[in-house]
Amino acid sequence: MSRASAHGTETRRTADWRDHAACLTTNPSIFYSGDEASTEEARRICTSCPVRSQCLTAAYTERDQWAIRGGRTVDERKRALRDAGGIIARAVADALQDTVHLLTHIYQQHTVTDDGHLIWTDPRVYVTVRGTAYTVNRIGFVGAHGRMPVGHVTRVCDRGGCVAADCLEDSPLREASRRRRVYEQWHGLVDAG
């Protein structure tokens, strides 16, 4: 079976973010025509698309020179990439005002796995993004959990610099851990001490 979207007609590929594209059932020509009405309609569809950041990232990595992607024309994408110093993740994050996307990219760029932990490798102890300084623990939390933390972030393992998903907790996760410990103690699953 083939399906048409702004990304062309495709056959036999494995499932990915494109399956959730808001333009799957739209006439692809509006993303290519270049006339004002079509461009506005394409932008409107992109605005509500749940995979906008993946699409915009792919437009850069695939060097798409034709279509409106992520609500941005080819010229707009070029300008944004220039303004972002050539860093795709920054251009995407700026275009979509998506700080989580950018912090996740920073996290992926500056971590290595080590003995079951994930270690922050950048010498900086905080990184400023759009005027806000994020500590290593906060960047780690966003990168590991895909959302902004609630309250402060604490490390629950004893490995310095670890930013693994299981090793960082924000307020809701701390509360969930506390409840789990109480439950386990009540049910004799662990020693009360």
The residues of the shown chain that bind Zn ion, judged by CB under 5 A, are 117, 157, 159, 162, 164, 167
- Shortest spacing between CB 155 and Zn ion, in angstroms: 7
- Shortest spacing between CB 69 and ligand SF4, in angstroms: 5
- Residue 46 interaction partner, one of Zn ion, ligand SF4, none, beta carbon < 5-8 Å per kind: ligand SF4
- What's the CA angle centered on 118, arms 160 and 179, to 5 degrees? 80
Question: Considering the rule CB under 6 A, would residue 55 count as an interface residue with ligand SF4?
Answer: yes
Residue type, 15: A
- Residue 30 interaction partner, one of ligand SF4, Zn ion, none, beta carbon < 5-8 Å per kind: none
Instruction: Give the residue, chosen from 1, 13, 51, 102, that forms a contact with ligand SF4 under the rule CB under 6 A.
Output: 51
Quick one: tokens of 106?
Answer: 């920073």
Question: Considering the rule CB under 6 A, would residue 49 count as an interface residue with ligand SF4?
Answer: yes
DSSP codes, 49-114: -TTHHHHHHHHHHTT--SS-BTTB-HHHHHHHHHHTTT-HHHHHHHHHT-HHHHHHHHHHHTEEEE
Question: Considering the rule CB under 6 A, would residue 52 count as an interface residue with ligand SF4?
Answer: yes
Q: Which residue, 171, 118, 125, 123, is CA-closest to 143?
A: 118
- Residue 49 interaction partner, one of Zn ion, ligand SF4, none, beta carbon < 5-8 Å per kind: ligand SF4
Q: What are phi and psi of 114, to 5 degrees?
A: -155, 110
Contact (Cβ atoms closer than 8 angstroms) between residue 70 and residue 96: yes
The interface with ligand SF4 within residues 25-44 (CB under 6 A) comprises: 31
The residues that touch ligand SF4, with contacts defined as CB under 6 A, are 6, 21-23, 31, 45-46, 49, 51-52, 55, 69-70
